[in-house]
A and B are shown apart, each in its own frame.
Chain A
Amino acid sequence: MRDLTLPRGWRVALLLPALAVFLAFWLLPMAALVKVSGDGHALETYRAILTNARYLDSLWQTVVLSALVTLATLALSLVAGLFLTRHDFPGKSALVSMLTLPLAFPGVVVGFMVIMLAGRQGLIGDLTSKFAGHKLVFAYSLAGLFLGYLYFSIPRVILAVMAAAESLDHSLTEAAASLGAGPFAIARDVTLPALAPALIASGAMCFATSVGAFGTAFTLATDIDVLPMTIYTEFTLNANVATAAALSVILGVVTWAVLMLARNFTGQAVAAGG
C-alpha cells in the first residue's frame, strides 16, 4: 500500500544513516570475524576446537551454568512476580522498584556485589563463621558465578513476568476458582499455560545474557573457564586470534539458536536488554 505521508525519497533518506553505521560497524566486522575464525581452512579450525577438551569443557560449563541460572531465575521471579501483581499492600511499589533497581548494573559491579556477599570478607562468610564455626567463601567459584548471574537476571525476568501477569484475563482464574479448583490446580492449569510464552521468552533472554556475560566472570573467575573468559584469555594472553574468533562465533551461534527456538515456540520477538 502506498503511504501518502511518507514519500519514497524520505523513506530512504531517513533509514540510510542508521543502516550505513550498522553495516560499517557491525555487519561487516561480524563477517570479518567469521572469516578470521576460519583462518583459511575453516573446517580444521572448528574441528580442532570441538575436539579440544578444554574448549568443550568451557562450552558445557557455560551452557549448564546458564541453564541452571535460567531455571532458578524463572522459578523465583514467577513466585515474586505473581505475588506482586496479585496483591496490594502498602510499600508494594517501593518493593517493585527495589527488585528492579539493579537492572542496569554492569557485570563487573554485579561481580563485586557477589564478593560483598560471598567473598573472603563477605556477609555470608561472617555469618557462617559466627554461627557455624566454619567460614563459607564461594565467590570465586562456579557457585559465586551462579549467584552473580542470578543477581542480574532477576530484575529483568521479574519485569517480564509482571507485565505478562498484568495482562492475564482475570475471569479465567475466577471461573476456575468458582468451579472448585484450588490454588495449585489454578496455577497448573490456568496461570502457567497463560504465562508460558512470556516465561519462554524471558528465559531465553536470561540464558543468552548469562552465556555471554563477561564482566561478572571477569571480576570473579580467577580460575573458572566459562566461555567468555576462555575467549578473552585466548585473545589477550595467548594472542590466538583465530581460536578466539571461532569461539566467539560458536558463542554467538548458541545464543542466536536459543533465541530463535524461543521465538518459534512463542511466535513473538524476544525482548532483549543489556
Chain B
Amino acid sequence: MLKKTLFTLQLLLTLLMCAFLLIPVGMSILAGLSVNYFRGPSAGLTFKWVIQVWQDYHDAILNSLYVGAATLVLVALLGVPAGYVLARWQSRFARWIEELLTLPIALPGLASALALISVYGGMRGFRESLAFIIVGHVIFTLPFMVRAVAAACADSRIKLMEEGAASLGASFVRRFMTVVLPNIRSEIVAAALIVVTLSLGEFNLTWMLHTPDTKTLPVGLADAYASLRLEIGSAYTAVFFVLIVPLLIVMQTTAQRAKVRNARGRT
C-alpha cells in the first residue's frame, strides 16, 4: 500500500516537472503560429509571423549557423589532438592543462566576455567581425571536445592496438589517422553535436561580444523579446526550436548508443 502511494506520488511529481518544462515550449510554438495570441488558436493559424521573423532576422540566423560551423571546425582541429595527448601523457603537468582548459565553462561567461573585450576591444577589425564571437565560442566549447576525446583515448584497448600498429612499423601520423581516429569516432561526433548546440544557443558571452553587424540567433531572440509583440517573439522561439531540437534529439540517441556500446565493450 505504502509502496503504491509512493509510486503514484513520484510519478505525479515527475509528470508535473515534465509539464513545467514542456508546456511553455508548446505555448510559444502555438503563439508563434497564431493569428492573434490574445484570442488564442481559435482565431486561426498562420505562418505570417514566421515569415516576418525570417525577413527581419535571417542575417542573425545565418550568422549563427556560420559561427557554429566555424567553431566546430576550430574546436575539432584544436581539441582532438589536445585531448589525445592529455589522455596519453600521464603527468601532473598534463592534469594542470586539462584543468585550465576547463575553466571557461566553470566561470561565468560574462567575465570571459569582459576579459576578451578588455584586451581585444581596441582592435576594431577583429572586434567588429564574427571572428570575435567565434573566438569566444571556441574557448567556451573546447573543453567539451578535449574531455570527450581524452576520455575515449583513455581506453586501454586503443593503446594496445596502437602499440600493435607501431610494432608493425606504422608511423605516428598513420597510427593516429587509421587507428586512433576511427576508434574514437562516435565520441568525436557526440562532442561535435554538443559544440554546435552550445554555440547556436550561446548568449552570455555573445551578447557582450556582438556588434550591430554581428548579431547571432540568440542575440536576435533577446532583441525580439525586448522590442516586439509576443507573436513575433514566439515565432522566433519556434524557429529556434526547429533548429535546436533535432540536434538535441540526435545528441540523446548518440549518447544512448555510446552507452550501449560501452556496456558491451566492458563485458
Contact = CB atoms under 8 A, between A and B. Distances in A.
B237 A112 contact: yes
A103 B197 CA distance: 10
Contacts of A121: 37-38, 230
Contacts of A273: 105
A78 B237 CA distance: 30
Given A28-B119, A29-B119, A249-B111, A103 B85 contact: no
B115 A26 contact: yes
Interface stretch (B4-12, B41-49, B52-60, B184-192): B4-12
Interface string A5-34: 111001100110111011001111110110
Interface in A17-54: 17-19, 21-22, 25-30, 32-33, 36
Nearest to B99: A269
A36 B247 CA distance: 39
Contacts of B88: 3, 5-6, 11
A113 B25 contact: yes
Contacts of A183: 2-3, 6
A76 B13 CA distance: 8
Nearest to B87: A6
Interface in A174-215: 182-183, 208, 211-215
Given A21-B78, A22-B101, A112 B17 contact: no
B44 to A, nearest CB: 18
Contacts of A228: 108, 110, 204
A95 B18 CA distance: 7
Interface residues of B, number: 90
Given A4-B166, A272-B106, A15 B97 contact: yes
B129 interface: no
Interface in A53-107: 76, 79-80, 82-84, 87, 95, 97-107
Interface of A: 1, 3-7, 10-11, 14-15, 17-19, 21-22, 25-30, 32-33, 36, 76, 79-80, 82-84, 87, 95, 97-109, 111-117, 121, 123, 150-151, 154-155, 182-183, 208, 211-215, 218-219, 228, 231-232, 235, 241, 244-245, 248-249, 251-252, 255-256, 259, 269-270, 272-274
16 contacts: A18-B101, A29-B118, A32-B115, A33-B115, A79-B10, A79-B13, A97-B252, A99-B17, A113-B24, A116-B24, A117-B24, A117-B27, A212-B108, A235-B208, A245-B114, A272-B105
List 8 A-B pairs, minimum CB-CB distance, nearest first: A212-B108, A29-B115, A14-B81, A18-B82, A113-B24, A106-B201, A116-B24, A248-B111
Interface of B: 2-3, 6-7, 10-11, 13-15, 17-18, 20-25, 27-28, 31, 37-38, 74, 77-79, 81-82, 84-86, 88-90, 97, 100-112, 114-116, 118-120, 135-136, 138-139, 142-143, 146, 159, 162-163, 166, 172, 175, 197-198, 200-204, 207-208, 218, 221-222, 225, 230, 233, 237, 240, 244-245, 247-249, 252
